Structure 1
Amino acid sequence: MIDPRGMTIGQAAQAAAARWPRAPLFCAPPDPGRAWDPEGRELTQEAVAEAAAALAERLAAAGYGRGHRAALDLENRPEHLVWKLALAALGISCVPINPDLRPAEVAYILADSDPQLCVAAPNRRAALAEAIALGEGRALIAPDEPPPPAPARPRPGAPAPEDEASVIYTSGTTGKPKGCLLSHEYELELGRWYLTCGGLMAMTEGERLYNPLPLFHVNAGILSLTAMMLSGGCQIQPARFSRGAWWRDIRACRASIAHYLGVVIPALMAAEPSEDERAHALRFMVGAGVEPTLHAPAEARFGVPLIEVWGMTEMCRIIAANEEPRRIDTRAFGRPRPGLEARVVDDDDRDVPPGEPGEMVLRHSADAPRRGFFSGYLNKPEATAEAWRGGWFHTGDTVRMEPDGTLIFVDRKKNIIRRSGENIAAAEVEACLLEHPDVAQAAALAAPDPIRDEEVFAAVVLKPGRAADADMARRLFDWCMARMAYYKAPGWVLFMDALPVTGTQKVRKHDILPPGASPEALAGAIDLRAAKKR
């Protein structure tokens, strides 16, 4: 493994290419229905480095460099990796775009991050152009087009480890997503930390890691990709998760590690048993959100341990249940190790007794609490300060800490709905519904879902004279689908005469749908889940 401490991403990529020039770094498995590389393709460390160097030369000649930003809407294509490394080599920050976002949502990200250049795959160009048209004019090119002249001069000097390498947008509890500023040092430390977890996650050179998650997220775009680059390994990157392709790809591409989210395991368990699901070379799978009742049966059926981990964009160090006993009958996700300290606190930031629920707060150490964390929220210094109050980062997750230090997930303290691995701000859904001319009040909350972990549940109060029926529910659904990413639209709608509120007029969401209660048992709840499609 290459120790990247003190390096920039560009320096680490060059070192990896020099050490393992012929080793594959990125693999697109065969997929006849995919718009790119339908027959599959592998790129070596050397090939990626050469393509990134040539692209960086073209960008530098056009005047792009340190301190600039570029927005990438390239899906899970190999071009994303080449562009990411070319940008990093010049000190240009990468702003990856979720292709499921609607134009208005992308327009917000572009206005907030102010990229000097936007790059889109051919099938994404029209959508990104529409988003650009909603705001200030920005240069838009295809990944193989020559860049236009940069609109401003770059900062002098070579990139440094502490420089910004990415802006990753996460759902904010107040509605609009927040841009997490990630440095070169952060991204390389994320990969190094992953490689050194040890235990059941012990890795060697040349691992082949199957990751069906999107490259615009930290998991596939930074965590596993950087780890593979630093260890001579290969990331196997399908277009997205497919139950039918999962075991076929893993077997054909000789994967030794696989990443999952909670939605993956129930989907695989619901499939008919196949020969491929036991004829693989996986040593372990890494993910989060497996239902405790499914954990042991899945390990027994597939013959591979499922290692539950916890992480978030703001922190480059995952916590992993990679040592026995793992307590797979609970939502345990491991214990902190040197380089990461954790406490469980109440609303006044006082420690709660062992075994009691509270918010998990984290830091590197007393001397350097923010080492290995994000650099802050873009354009939101107040939000950054609030998250770091008292010198500890407040995760917004409610956990229990057992006497032996084991952390067990309980719930999200923040007003966030987590559907199939996507974080959805309830406030964003509520704001969209309230813009509809027929809506007087709206509350969005998480409803349990057997496949997707959670689903968006919307309680709606209509203006006088409006019909509270299935047709109205579908109109509200279509309204949201036209304005937000498909996964944010309500999967359930319940019409109410009034929302229950506290004495200070805060909505009592637990009175609408009690924790753990199924919407299917709620009279009047309208199920729209089947209509939620990309």
Structure 2
Amino acid sequence: MIDIDDNTTIGQALATAAERYEDNVLLVAPANAARGYDPQGREIRYGEAFQEVQRLQALYRAAGYGLGHRVALMLDNRLDHMLHKLALNGLGVCCVPVNPDYRTRELVYLLEHSRVDLAVVLPERLAQLRQALDVSSHRPPVAALHDFAPMQAGTGAALPPPARAALAGDPTGDTPASILYTSGTTGQPKGCVLSHTYELASGRWYARLGGLASMREGRERLYNPLPLFHVNASILSFFCMLLTGGAQIQPDRFQPSRFWREVHGSGATVIHYLGVVVPMLLAQPPAALDRSHGVRFGIGAGVEPQLHAVFEQRYGLPLIEIWGMTEMVRLLADCHEPRQVGTRAFGRAQPGLDAAVMDEQGAFVPDGTPGELVIRHSAATPRRHFFTEYLDNRQATEEAWRGGWFHTGDVVLRAPDGMLHFMDRRKNIIRRSGENIAAAEVEALLITHPRVAGAAVLAVPDDVREEEVLACVVPKDGLPGGEQGEALARELFDFCHAQLAYYKAPGWLYFTREIPTTGTQKIQKHRLFPEGADPRTVAGMHDLRALKKRG
């Protein structure tokens, strides 16, 4: 593994890795005949990646982009996303990845909040972006991916210049490398600012987990089907591979019917998963590829305890349960034998990552007692290698760091042996197929509908996607029944689906006369349905899940 410290920048790490691992493969797009680009697949070696990054940097530099600028990347899961990120970071530019499933309303918020200086998009995403720009108060220049293609005379087309000049100087370890948007519990998503030091430290930590997760220098090929606008693929696994001479295999998205074919065909030795991946793969018919792969281990979070051993037995590889989040993705991991398979164990505190359990008053609780997981680097340097801040939200940053610990919001239990066990999700966060959905965001949109007097959104279990969105709505005109109820439920679904990423729209919808509150008017979601009842089976519940589709 190449040597780095807290002063190393991403550009310096890339240059060192390119020299040391020049002929190794860095990035892989697995073959996919149904894909409109690179249907036969594509591999980019370290030396080739470094040359392409330098070419892209020349284009950006010539247009005036540099230290202090921000550039939105709407490039889906193309390998180009990582090449552009490396080029921009090397110049001191901060990348703002964009979820391609965002609707106009969500894109406008991201543009206005991040105030990017340029948006780089796929040609097929231009119309989607322009719809947002038409109604946004912030309208950065736009460059399509084909604008960067090499030309016969020169290295590419001229890019539109930024409206403001770059800052003087060179990037440092503290320079922002990415702003990733995370679902907040009380409103709009927060922009999580991640530095060069954070991103490289995350990769180094992963590379050093050891045990079953040991990384062999220059030999690993890591298949990550997760989106590049998330921290897992674009930072955690990618920088682990970069620092150790490995390759990141980046498919378009997770598809159970193609998963093992792509894993086998790309020569993957490590796979990443989310809880929803496991039952979907187990539901596939048995096939020869189930065991004829070279995968050493899988790493992820959220596997159902009763499926953990079943998966390992069928596919012949260990699933290593981890815990991490955008604010701090240096993992806690249950990667040393004996593992606690079939539980929700996800690791123990380690030097450089303190972990404790607190009650609601901020007092530490005894082992065996559920409470909130709080973390820090150490007592002396609690925020080292964590996110820098929530963009333009100092109050939220400091609230999360109250008492010198970062408050995760996750309910866990620590056993006497120090092993941490996951208990429950964050308050007001719905976890659907790996996406974190803020109940507050869906509620805020629903109450703008002219026929809605109030709304409460909560999570309900889902047999396939872990959790689903349930919206409880108080109509202004009284409870509708029969066909009127069906029509209003569909109207509210369409209203949400048109303005939010498809996965955020309600999969279940229920009309109620009132939403229970406390004496201080705090919503009591636990009183919406009888204790012990499954809300999905309550009379009058509308099942809208079949309507939740991309596009």
Q: What is the TM-score when the length of structure 1 is the normalising length?
A: 0.98
Q: Distance in 1 between matches of 2:413 and 2:381?
A: 25
**What residue number does 1:8 align with?**
9
User: How do 1:366-515 residues align onto structure 2 when only pairs under 5 Å count?
Assistant: 366-465=379-478, 467-468=480-481, 469-513=485-529
User: How do 1:63-212 residues align onto structure 2 when only pairs under 5 Å count?
Assistant: 63-135=64-136, 136-145=138-147, 146-205=158-217, 206-212=219-225
Write the deviation string for residues 491-513 of structure 1: whole angstroms up to 9, x where unpaired: 00011111122222222211224
**Contact 1:448 1:517 (C-alpha < 8 Å) held by counterparts:** no
Q: Distance in 1 between matches of 2:3 and 2:276?
A: 34
For the residue of structure 1 that corresponds to 2:47, the secondary structure is helix
Q: 1:515 to 1:219 in 2, by over 3 A?
A: farther
Give the letter for the 1:398 counterpart. V
**What residue number does 1:233 align with?**
246
Q: CA deviation at 1:337?
A: 1.0
Give the letter for the 1:96 counterpart. P
Mind listing any 5+ residue stretches in structure 1 that lack a counterpart? none
Give the letter for the 1:150 counterpart. P
Q: Distance in 1 between matches of 2:36 and 2:187?
A: 33
**What residue number does 2:39 align with?**
38
Mind listing any 5+ residue stretches in structure 2 that lack a counterpart? 148-157
Answer with 451-460 or 315-324: which moved more.
Answer: 315-324
**Contact 1:287 1:309 (C-alpha < 8 Å) held by counterparts:** yes
Q: Distance in 2 between matches of 1:470 and 1:296?
A: 42
**Contact 2:460 2:536 (C-alpha < 8 Å) held by counterparts:** no
Give the letter for the 1:88 counterpart. N
**What residue number does 1:55 align with?**
56
Q: Distance in 1 between matches of 2:58 and 2:533?
A: 57
Give the letter for the 1:138 counterpart. P
Write the deviation string for residues 324-380 of structure 1: whole angstroms up to 9, x where unpaired: 232222111111111000110011110111111100111111110000100000000
User: How do 1:208-223 residues align onto structure 2 when only pairs under 5 Å count?
Assistant: 208-223=221-236
**Contact 1:420 1:453 (C-alpha < 8 Å) held by counterparts:** yes
Q: 1:19 to 1:36 in 2, by over 3 A?
A: same
**Contact 2:357 2:370 (C-alpha < 8 Å) held by counterparts:** yes
**What residue number does 1:270 align with?**
283
Q: 1:465 to 1:348 in 2, by over 3 A?
A: closer
Q: CA deviation at 1:465?
A: 4.9
For the residue of structure 1 that corresponds to 2:102, the secondary structure is coil
Q: Aligned to 1:301, which of 302, 314, 320?
A: 314
Give the letter for the 1:392 counterpart. W
**Contact 1:359 1:397 (C-alpha < 8 Å) held by counterparts:** yes
* Runs of 4+ deviating beyond 6 Å: none
Q: 1:288 to 1:316 in 2, by over 3 A?
A: closer
User: How do 1:332-343 residues align onto structure 2 when only pairs under 5 Å count?
Assistant: 332-343=345-356
Q: CA deviation at 1:438?
A: 0.8
Q: Distance in 2 between matches of 1:392 and 1:516?
A: 34
Q: Distance in 2 between matches of 1:377 and 1:407?
A: 27
Write the deviation string for residues 456-485 of structure 1: whole angstroms up to 9, x where unpaired: 011111012563411211111000000100
Give the letter for the 1:422 counterpart. E
Q: CA deviation at 1:515?
A: 8.2
Q: Distance in 1 between matches of 2:408 and 2:266?
A: 36
**Contact 2:470 2:506 (C-alpha < 8 Å) held by counterparts:** yes
Give the letter for the 1:509 counterpart. K
**What residue number does 1:22 align with?**
23
Q: What is the TM-score when the length of structure 2 is the normalising length?
A: 0.95
Write the deviation string for residues 282-324 of structure 1: whole angstroms up to 9, x where unpaired: 1100010000011111111111100000000001311001012
Count of residue pairs the alignment pairs up: 534
**What residue number does 2:154 align with?**
none
For the residue of structure 1 that corresponds to 2:212, the secondary structure is coil
Q: Distance in 2 between matches of 1:496 and 1:108?
A: 31
Q: Distance in 2 between matches of 1:397 and 1:59?
A: 41
Q: Distance in 1 between matches of 2:339 and 2:545?
A: 34
Q: CA deviation at 1:56?
A: 0.5
Q: Distance in 1 between matches of 2:428 and 2:474?
A: 20
**Contact 2:479 2:511 (C-alpha < 8 Å) held by counterparts:** no
Q: CA deviation at 1:47?
A: 1.2
Q: Distance in 2 between matches of 1:54 and 1:441?
A: 54
Answer with 149-158 or 96-105: which moved more.
Answer: 149-158
Give the letter for the 1:348 counterpart. Q
